[in-house]
Amino acid sequence: MTQNHILRDRALAFRSRHVPGRPLVLPNAWDATSARIVEDAGAAAVATTSAGLAWALGTADGDRLDRDRALGAVARIAEVVRVPVTADIESGYARDSVGVGDTIRAVIAAGAVGVNIEDALYGSGEGPLRPVAEQAERLAAARKAADAAGVPLFVNARIDTFLRGAGGVDLTLERAAAFLAAGADGIFVPGVVDPVTVKALADGIDAPLNVMAGPGAPPVAELAALGVARVSIGSGISQAVHAVVRRAARELLGTGTYESLAEGLDYGELNALLGSGR
């Protein structure tokens, strides 16, 4: 079986798991080790977190990472897991729709079968979100590139209305409809976990809805009952891991003790996990 056939089968399997009421649950990873741990825990797919990945590469989040470095990391993740991989590619690592198409071809070459593409604008001074028409053009370019490659890539259109305080349900639904018409397969609305709002979005969007959960959010079962089809946690695990790093470093340098390390994974277990990858 060719690599393209393998990716096609993975993409179809990944797509089939987006079921309202029975959501795909994605503990986001940021490097090969975290990806293998997530897979070993039983995840049906591995999703990257752009923030966690950027931090691991020594870069701040927010469209500051270049395409080659980002997708190099995605390729390493895809190499070590057997489950489908979906990549958070921020705004597409490109200035225009032509560049987004190039990114999608590189995503597929890296072995991923899904992407998140966000509509946030950073550092332009033109507002918090891209104009609808411009973002739709970028999503259409992503769809065209994936279709040309023969891989049914799941394009998850991220809408940052709530995350950036740019609008509410009505504006989100308006943007979602335009993005789906442009070729997106799902809609990701981070920054909202209120049950009434989530229900309104799930009912109003004619596609799988992805929400980002974390401390204070309803449990997965409650989100499922609201019609959510995908639950991810963004950079949450990465942030928790880095909190342990800081706590352990401060303890060692302060009191000279090591209690923060008490619940670490066993060396042999981690070594074996990475040795039994794909």
Q: Each residue of 242-252: pLDDT tens digit?
A: 999 999 999 99
- Work out the percent of the chain whose per-residue pLDDT is above 70: 98
The 3-state DSSP class for residue 96 equals coil
Contact 88, 126 (CB under 8 A): no
Distance CA 19, CA 22 (A): 5
Query: Per-residue b/e over 24-49, b at no fewer than 16 CB within 10 Å?
Result: bbbbbbbbbbbbbbbbeeebebbbbb
Per DSSP bridges, beta strands 230-232 and 24-26 are parallel
Mean pLDDT for 256-276 is 94
* Angstrom distances, CA of residue 87 to CA of 10, 66, 130, 156: 14, 14, 21, 10
Mean pLDDT for 45-68 is 96
Q: Supply the DSSP string of 206-262, one letter for each residue.
A: SS-EEEE--TTSPPHHHHHHTT--EEE-TTHHHHHHHHHHHHHHHHHHHT---GGGT
Distance CA 277, CA 274 (A): 6
Structure tokens at 112: 């991923």
Please say if the pLDDT value at position 232 is more than 70: yes
pLDDT band at 56 (very low <50, low <70, confident <90, very high): very high
Distance CA 44, CA 46 (A): 7
Please say if the pLDDT value at position 278 is more than 70: no
pLDDT of residue 144: 98
pLDDT band at 177 (very low <50, low <70, confident <90, very high): very high
Contact 144, 173 (CB under 8 A): no
Please say if the pLDDT value at position 58 is more than 80: yes
Please say if the pLDDT value at position 127 is more than 90: no
| Number of other residues whose CB lies within 10 A of the CB of residue 145 | 22
Please say if the pLDDT value at position 2 is more than 90: no
| Among candidate residues 43, 42, 104, 118, the one with its CA nearest the CA of residue 74 | 104
pLDDT of residue 277: 61
Q: At what angle do helices 97-110 and 67-80 cross, to 10 degrees?
A: 30
pLDDT of residue 124: 65
Mean pLDDT for 32-59 is 98
pLDDT band at 201 (very low <50, low <70, confident <90, very high): very high
| Among candidate residues 184, 124, 129, the one with its CA nearest the CA of residue 154 | 184
pLDDT of residue 126: 72
Contact 126, 132 (CB under 8 A): no
Please say if the pLDDT value at position 129 is more than 90: yes
Structure tokens at 200: 């309104």
For the chain, the average pLDDT equals 96
